[in-house]
Amino acid sequence: MKIFLDTANLDEIREGAALGVVDGVTTNPSLMAKEDGDYKEMLKEICDIVRGPVSAEVVADECEEMLRQGREFAKLSEYIVVKIPLIPEGIKAVKKLSSEEIKTNVTLCFSANQGLLAAKAGATYISPFVGRLDDAGNDGMQVVADLVEIYERYALPTRVLAASIRHPMHVLEAAKLGADVATMPYKILQQLFKHPLTDLGIEAFNRDWAKVMERRKANARR
Q: Could you tell me the CATH superfamily of domain 2-194?
A: Aldolase class I (3.20.20.70)
Residues 6+ apart with CB under 8 A from 54: 24, 25, 26, 27, 43, 46, 47, 77, 79, 80, 81
Widest pairwise Cα distance in the chain: 84
> Percent of the chain at pLDDT above 90?
83
Q: How confident is the model at residue 217 (pLDDT cuts 50, 70, 90)?
A: confident
Mean per-residue pLDDT, 15-28: 96
Q: 51 CB contacts (<8 Å, ≥6 apart)? A: 79
Say how far apart CA 132 and CA 180 lie, in whole Å.
19
pLDDT given for residue 101 in this prediction: 97
Instruction: Decide if 103 is catalytic.
Output: no
Mean pLDDT, residues 97-125 taken together:
98
Residue 218 has pLDDT above 80, yes or no: no
Model confidence pLDDT, tens digit, residues 113-148: 999 999 999 999 999 999 999 999 999 999 999 999
170 has pLDDT over 80: yes
User: Is the CB of residue 114 less than 8 Å from the CB of residue 84?
Assistant: no
Look at the chain and count its residues: 222
Instruction: Point out the catalytic residue in the list 40, 83, 92, 217.
Output: 83
Q: Where are the domains of the chain?
A: 2-194
pLDDT for 130: 98
User: In this predicted structure, what is the pLDDT of residue 211?
Assistant: 82
Percent of the chain with pLDDT over 70: 100
Residue type, 86: L
Q: Write out pLDDT tens, residues 47-84.
A: 999 999 999 999 999 999 999 999 999 999 999 999 99
* Bridge partners, residue 169, by sequence: none
pLDDT at 50: 97
Please give the DSSP secondary-structure letter assigned to residue 154.
T
In this predicted structure, what is the pLDDT of residue 19?
96
Q: Round to whole Å and give the CA distance between 47 and 25.
A: 8
pLDDT at 214: 83
State the average pLDDT for the chain: 95
